[in-house]
Structures are given as structure tokens and as C-alpha cells.
Structure 1
Amino acid sequence: MTRTGRTMVFAMALLTLFSAGARAALEASVDRRQIAMGDTLRLVIETTGDEELADIDLEPLKRDFDILQRSSASSVQIVNGQRSHTKQLVVDLSPLRQGALRIPPLASGGERSNAVTVEVGPPPELPGGDQQVLFEAEVDREAVYVQGQVLLTLRIQQAINLDARSVSELRLDNAFVKPLEQNSFQRTVDGRPWLVHEIRYAIFPESSGTLEIPPQTFSARESIARRSLFDRGNGRLVRRVTEPLRIEVLQQPAAYPDGATWLPATSLAIEEQWSTPPEQLRAGQSATRTIRVTGSGLQGAQLPPVLFPATPGLKYYPDQPQISESESSSGLVGQRVDSAALVPTSAGTYRIPEVRIPWWDTESGALREAVLPGREIQVAAAAPHSAPSPLPAPATTTANRDAVTATGTAVELWIWRGVALFSALGWLATLAWLWRQRQQQQRAPVEHERALPGEAAAYKTLLAACAADQATRARRALLDWGRALMPNEPDLTLDGFAAHCADARLRSAIDTLNRELYAGDTGHWRGDELAALARELRKPLRKRAAGESPALGLYPA
């Protein structure tokens, strides 16, 4: 093994040990960061190491919290042959006072958990009377920017046991709706216990104006004790309806830079990682540069790609981006990871330019920029031993050329012929595998087309692309929407969709979109006209689609 290979193995071993140590630390989290007096709070302490969570001292919690209950759980997961053991300590707490309460670090062995701060407000005011079931809807803000996030919370409060609980499905035509994790806890008001269940949604309006959230309906039956085995025990029906909510959707501010991806968020961060420190690069060696963009209050698909600019002397080989989303107490957190292998072709000093992403701070209403500073890297010359050496000729493989006999030369010649034959077979197998992969990639778009998104999802994606003035995404979404409306035409084209709609304005809008894309997506295209046409044509197109294929209905007429 060469010195470079030994260095890489040693670095990977250190990275593995470091990662294992990072995972072994205690991690503390709570189910909610904002609660009211009388509410219960769930604290979870998790580890993947050897810490004994049962030995954790919970006395520091008793200064601000009442410990109601504690339990433990464990799970084993095997991924790619790697076994991980996760242990959890779950503690139910109730605050003793209002204000910003701090859950201090808790220790087990040589590890300590992170501190967590919780805001505790006054007890909630419940309506008077003898109501035993309450249902309400609230949003975290009354005004939001287009494509920005607004959180809707549906809250069920019950002082009696209920069966067969159900909530109506939230449907909004001009917004993308993402259901979030549900949460349940107990609440005590004036000595009366309540069970609270919260259903949260992240809503992203796709056009400016007024977004109306229609009334939501909750229904259930009161639980009653069965008098016999044959008693069905159906109690009285409970039905509650919320008030409608209206949210003002603001347009993209004029101060936002032209041509930049519109990003309304509460925070945006950008960071990079290198598989090999850039100051240790040598000519001909590769290093993977990974850039991660994280935005709070954004979907992962809203984040723009990070481009790796061509630089003389540096070659980039980009990898497939990774787009994901996670949840926090403040809603969705989108993440996009772009990586590329960087290979310097010669020694020298190179300038890697900065990465600058503008975004709009929805909390302060100000334009901000996430910046990854540029840097200069010094690439050393290739190490002499790192260059591949050609295979030696059979006549030069012995240490003493004079001692070579005809028999030895013939044997070595056959050995090298065998090696050459084995290498040739390996190359043929590699070429066959690459050809098969290419065939699968060519078939992949066809298979993707067969699994088209639903009509509603494609329509909302189209409106979102038009609102962001993203020509490429709008063309793809328009085609998906047309194929969803015409499921019997899997090979539908945009021209065919325009002919089906028989609308000259749509054909003109498609021509304008195609001209923009043929020109290289200059960023001058605006999606207002196409979005307006889609809203106007959607209702008659859906009626026509329903009339053409009545067999697709869930229940026959």
C-alpha cells in the first residue's frame, strides 16, 4: 500500500472513531419549546454509546419542574451491516413557574447532555360553562410572504374519554400543505385535567392576496362503559367546527435581487466540508467538496443548487444533490447538499470563489445573505511515487539480468500474458456493467413518467414554479399536470396538451416558455401569465377529464 493509501485509511479510521464518539454523547430534546402552566412536557435523553441512562441524576430538574414519570426504551438498528444500539430515557415534566426555564445538562458517566430552554406562559383561558370538548384552530402569523411558511395548529381539548375521533382533511387550492408530526399532552386548568391533542400543518401559499383556511370539523363519540358483551356502547356524537381563518399573503419585495431564487425564511446557513484538507492537495489527487445549505421555514426543494464554477487548472465532477426536510418546533427545516470531486491538474495557487445566497428574513422583513467565504488553496506537485508506473517488460523483472535463462523468461512471459488476459476480461466486464447502467438510466425517465404525481400535486408544483419564475421547473410541472389530467396519454407532449385544451393563450405561453429555455434560461421569464391560465383552465379540464373516464371514480354514480 502506498503512503497516500495508508494516509487515507488512517484518516478514515480517525473519522470513524470521531463519529462514534460524537454519536455516543447524550442528546437531550423536548417535544415542545413553548408550553403553558399546567401543561406536561416530555424530555427525551438519547445515546448510542454505552452510557447507563438509569444512572442519570434528575435532581437538577426539580428546581423548576415537577417530575411526573420516567421510563426507558431501547432499539437496535442494522444498516449496511453496521449495528447501532439506541437507548432513551423519557421523563414527563410539569413546570413549577412561568418564564424561561432551563433544563440543565445531565450527566451519565463521563458524558453530559446539552442544555434546553423552555418558555412557560400563563395558564390558558378556557370558556366557561360545562363544555367538555373544545376544538380550535390558530396560525402563528396573520401575514406571510408568498411561498413563505405559516403554521396552522388544530387543537383538540377533551375532559372526557372519546372514541372514533376524526378531523376533516385540510384542502387549499392555492397553497402547498405539509402535515407535521402530531403531539399529545396533558393540561390542568383550575384543578381540572384535560387531554390535549395538536395537529400541525406547514402551509406555503403560492400566490399573493388573501389565503382563506376554511372551517375544520372534529367529530367523535363519547366513551361509555359497556353493560354487556353485546352492548355496542355508542355514546353521544360530539361535533365541533372551527372559525375560518384569513391570512394576508404578501408579494415578493421589490428590494429582492432580480434573478435570484426567492427564499423567504427565518434563517439560512451555508457550510462546507472537505474530505481532504484543501491545504494538503497535490496535483492529480481528488478531494470531495461538500456544500450544505439549511433553511428554516423552507422546503428542501425551494433551496437553490450550488454551482461549482469552472477554474483553469481545477476540474469538478459534481455528484447527485441530496434534498431533505426535517421538523422542528418552528416548522420545516429544508436542506440541500451539493458535492463534487475536485481534481487539480497541476501544481500552483488557485482561488475558489465565494458562494453568496440572498434570502429574505421573514421575522425582521429585511434582505440578508448567506455567505461561504472564498479561499486560496496551494496545490503541491504530485509525489513521485503517486504516479502510476507502467508494467515492466518480462526481460527486466529479475534482479540480475545476466542470470535470466530462457526457461525463466518463457515462464514469466506466460505469467504476464495471464495477467494481461485477466485485466482484459476485467475491462470487458466493467464495460458491460457500464453499458447496462446506461441502459437503465435511459429507461429511468420512462419509468418515472409512469409514476406521475397526482393532479393536485402537479398543479400546486406548477403554481409554485410560476411564482418563483423558474422556467425549467414550470415546464416539467406543466407536462406532469397535463399527463395527470390525461392518464390515457402517457407520451403526451406540451404541444399535444395545448391542442387538447384548444386555447390559443396557452399555446402562446408554452411557446414563450420554450423560447426562454432554448435561449439558456436567462432568468427573464415570468410565470404570472402561465399561472393565471392554469387557474382558469383547471376547472373545465378536470370536468372534461372526469367525463372522459368515469370508471376512475372511487364510487360509481
Structure 2
Amino acid sequence: VNAVSDDVKAQQEKEFFFDISVQKQPQYYVQQQILYTEKVYYSVQHDEPSLTSLDVTDARVEPLGDVRQYTTVIKGQRFGVYERNFAIYPEVSGELVIPGQRFQASVRDPYDRWGRGRQASIVSKPISLTVNSIPAGYPQAPWLPASQLSISERFSADPQDWQQGDPITRTITLKATGLPGNQLPPVPVPEIRNIRYYPDQTESSDDLSENGVEGTSVQSMALVPAASGKITLPEIRIPWWNVTKGQLEYAVLPAHTVTVAPAQNAAQNSGQNTVNGNTQSAAEASASDSHSGNSNGGTLVSADSHFSGFWPVLFALSLLVNIVLGWLLLKKPAAAMESAESDALQNEKQCWKALNTACRNGDAKDLHSALLKWANAALRNNLDGSESSKDRAITSLPQLAARYRDPALNSALSELDALLFSAQGNSAYNGQNLLSLLKARKQLDEEKPQNDSLYPA
């Protein structure tokens, strides 16, 4: 039970009055969740109540549920209350002004039942806050201002049951209090010798309440041990900013070592080779006995031997007819597919050229736009038809970084993403380093093509 504020006590004689509160923090930072609670008290009967929508310049506003209506008693006097809760996320540093809100209603006249009533209107005072940019000491990593952040993992099989060649699903979960799930970055997973990675798409979700947003990001991947023996999964550290304490902290997934057993099919294949050898010898002996028996007892002629020359010819004709029909059916779609692939490749080359220009110019915003356009053009060019490009479109740098397992490239993308949301968002950016990393990845993809490659051939 919260104590009644002094503002509410002072306005008890009014028919309508506002009580607005903003979450108290030592400091406010860009992209941090700021909880805003707005209450309208009333003591008279009224119709057609309305509240203006909350719009804040240079900030994203997230409603936390619907408008609540209830009654309360203050010093023996009963009041009705309208309550709204919002999460406000500043997008730039500097002064943030939350504008005053307007409430309107038609007040009933208790002595004139059929009258239209009189109009009543009140306006709240605006609130001004100072929003800080990303602290200078924050590492080159995605900016995560939250009141709590945790990381956990689970495996589809117990670590003591891992075997060479058997896929194991590793699921890493990030939970943040004060951040939506789609703002949580993909977890950078380092390369491990004798482990092959097959990442799956990351899923995000939000839990909304009057206490704010709790975001969750679930990242799954398949691990396939390529060799037996001990394998160490390195420690994972995610930096984040504790807005309650005003300090840098890390969410840590400790390192652990697992022992991978040899593949079972290795022993089975060895035994199978021996069995197959014995079987072959027995078959050869049987064939030899049969041949010997036939030599001693005369020649045996099968009735089917008269048709032995006819069946190969019939099979060859049937195969030829099927090949011709298949070629006729596929000729037209193949031509259309070749035309579409040619257009997609041309568009990708144009986007790659624009990306090179943006990297040389060093403007962070232009580079961000060119990078996403090229990535989606490359993705459309490499789709295999199982999914549409709309379903797999890349809309953010963290989403783009999730497609790589290159720590240096992911670090460069994180640096660009952090610069875009910092106070120096319009400053120059060294795009040559990012371009060099992209070209290196392009060369690797040319040597070893992949369906989801983002680099032009």
C-alpha cells in the first residue's frame, strides 16, 4: 500500500485532478526504460471521459496494459481513479520532455436529469528529465541498460552422454528486466575445435506488467562433436549497464568441460566388415558348389533365359522417355528461375557497390542503411525457396550479427550499432575496417559456398 502523495492531499477539494509519477533513478540513460504512471482522480459523476495519447519526442512509448478504473478512499472521502502505465525509452541523449496530458469529461447535473451537463477539462504539468549518453567506459558491445540481466543454458542431452557425431541442441536464454526481447543481442559463441555449429533462429518475447517490461531472448544451436575426448565450452560474458546501481556488470555463463565418447557406429562398422567378409566367403563357396554340381549333373537352363536380352532394351527405352518428359516439363520454369536469379544477382552487386561507397565515406547512418540493404539483397539471392525473403528479412545489426560466427566481424557490427545510439551518433565511423572484414568473409564464402551466404559471388 503506497502512501498518498502531498499533491493528492492538496487537491482533494477539486472535482478532477492529476497525480503523475516517474520512476526514480540515480541517472537516466539513452534506451533505458523509464516507468511513467498517470492517475486521474474524480469525485463527481461524469460522462464521455477522454485522455490524450502519450507521445514523447525522441522517445519510444510502450503502453503497459489497458487503462485501469477503480475507487479509493482518502481521509474518509471516496474517489474514482483512472490509471495508465507506460514504459518510455529515450532514443537520444539530452533533455527529455514528457508533455502534459489533458483530461476531459461532461459533468452531470444531479438536478437536471435530461440536461447535457457541463464540460470539465484539466491539464497536467510537463515533466523534464536529463538523459545521459552511453558511458565512455562501456565496452565495444551492444548497449544494454537494464535493472537486471541474466543468462542461462540447457542441453538436449546430459553432458556425460555426448558421443562423437551425435547432434546436441544447446539453448541459451537471456532475460532482462527493463528491456524488450528484440533489443537483446545474439550471444557471441566462440569457435571450438572439433565442434561444428548449426545455429537456429533466435526467438524473443516480452512479459508486460505495471512494473515494466521483462524481455526474453532464446537462442538455439546444434552442436556436433567431430572427435571424441575432452572438449571445453569457453566462458561467455555479456556486458550490461545496471541502471539501478549506475555501474557496468557482466552476465556470465561459466566454462565447463565435457567428455565426448567415441561414436558407436565405429565399432559397429568394424564388426560389420568382418561379418560381411564371412558372408561373402560363404556366398562364393555356395556359388562354387552350385557350379560344380551343374558340371557333374549336366547343364540347367532357365525358362527366363530366353527373355534375358529383351528386358535391358525395354528398361532403356522407358528411362529415355522419362528423361525427355522431365526435360520438357522443367525447361520453362528453369528459364524463369534463371531470369529471376540474374535479376537478384544484379541487385546484390549494386547494393555491394553502394556499401563500398558508404564504408569509404564513413557516415554511420548511411553505412547502416547500405549494410542492411545489401544483406537482404544477398539473402534473397541465396534463398533456396523454403522461406520467403519477407519472413527472413534482416532489420537490425544484432540480427545481422546473428548470422555470423566471426568474433571480429560481430565486434565491428556491435561497435557500429553502439555508435548509432550514442551521443556521437553523427560522428565519423571507420568503415574501412568493417569493409575489410566483409571482404574476408566474402572470400571464405566463395571457397566454401553456403545457402545463406550474404556475400556476392
Q: Deviations over 1:116-154 (max 9, x none)?
A: xxxxx4687433563222223221137411111111111
Alignment pair present for 1:159 and 2:43: yes
The 5 A counterparts of 1:143-292 are 143-182=27-66, 183-223=68-108, 234-257=116-139, 259-292=140-173
Between the aligned partners of 1:261 and 1:244, the Cα distance in structure 2 is 32
CA contact (8 A) 1:282 1:344 kept: yes
Between the aligned partners of 2:165 and 2:235, the Cα distance in structure 1 is 24
CA contact (8 A) 2:35 2:88 kept: yes
Q: Deviations over 1:409-466 (max 9, x none)?
A: x9xxxxxx9xxx9xxxxxx9xxx9xx9xxx9xx99xx9xxxxxxxxxxxxxxxxxxxx
The amino acid of 1:355's aligned partner reads: I
CA contact (8 A) 1:217 1:239 kept: yes
Alignment pair present for 1:133 and 2:1: no
Q: What is the Cα deviation at residue 478 of structure 1?
A: 9.5
**Where does residue 523 of structure 1 map in the other structure?**
415
The 5 A counterparts of 1:321-336 are 321-336=202-217
Between the aligned partners of 2:410 and 2:233, the Cα distance in structure 1 is 30
Distance 1:219 1:376, change over 3 A: same
CA contact (8 A) 1:175 1:206 kept: yes
**Where does residue 342 of structure 1 map in the other structure?**
223
CA contact (8 A) 2:164 2:227 kept: yes
- The structure whose residues are more often strand, as a share, is 1
The amino acid of 1:126's aligned partner reads: K
C-alpha RMSD over aligned residues: 4.5
CA contact (8 A) 2:57 2:97 kept: no
CA contact (8 A) 1:283 1:346 kept: yes
Distance 1:193 1:369, change over 3 A: same
CA contact (8 A) 2:65 2:210 kept: no
Q: How many residues align?
A: 323
3-state DSSP class of the match of 2:175? strand
Structure 2 unmatched ranges of 5 or more = 291-300, 306-314, 320-325, 345-363, 375-407, 428-457
Between the aligned partners of 2:137 and 2:411, the Cα distance in structure 1 is 27
3-state DSSP class of the match of 1:148? coil
- The structure whose residues are more often helix, as a share, is 2
The amino acid of 2:264's aligned partner reads: A
**Normalization by structure 2: what TM-score?**
0.60
Between the aligned partners of 1:363 and 1:304, the Cα distance in structure 2 is 21
Q: What is the Cα deviation at residue 234 of structure 1?
A: 3.1
Distance 1:319 1:224, change over 3 A: farther
The amino acid of 1:283's aligned partner reads: Q
Alignment pair present for 1:370 and 2:248: no
Distance 1:520 1:138, change over 3 A: closer
**Where does residue 46 of structure 1 map in the other structure?**
none
CA contact (8 A) 2:22 2:35 kept: yes
Distance 1:152 1:477, change over 3 A: farther
Q: Deviations over 1:333-370 (max 9, x none)?
A: 12111110111122111110111011111111111111
Q: What is the Cα deviation at residue 522 of structure 1?
A: 7.8
Distance 1:148 1:475, change over 3 A: farther
Between the aligned partners of 1:478 and 1:222, the Cα distance in structure 2 is 55
Distance 1:518 1:190, change over 3 A: closer
Distance 1:477 1:161, change over 3 A: farther
Between the aligned partners of 2:136 and 2:93, the Cα distance in structure 1 is 14
Between the aligned partners of 2:248 and 2:180, the Cα distance in structure 1 is 19
**Where does residue 536 of structure 1 map in the other structure?**
none
Structure 1 unmatched ranges of 5 or more = 1-34, 37-120, 411-416, 422-427, 447-468, 480-515, 534-557
CA contact (8 A) 1:159 1:195 kept: yes
**Where does residue 103 of structure 1 map in the other structure?**
none
Query: Based on CA coordinates, which of the two structures has the bigger radius of gyration?
Result: 2
Q: What is the Cα deviation at residue 177 of structure 1?
A: 1.1
CA contact (8 A) 1:308 1:316 kept: no
CA contact (8 A) 1:472 1:521 kept: no
3-state DSSP class of the match of 2:141? coil
3-state DSSP class of the match of 1:279? helix
Q: Which has the higher contact order (CA 8 A, sep 6+)?
A: 2
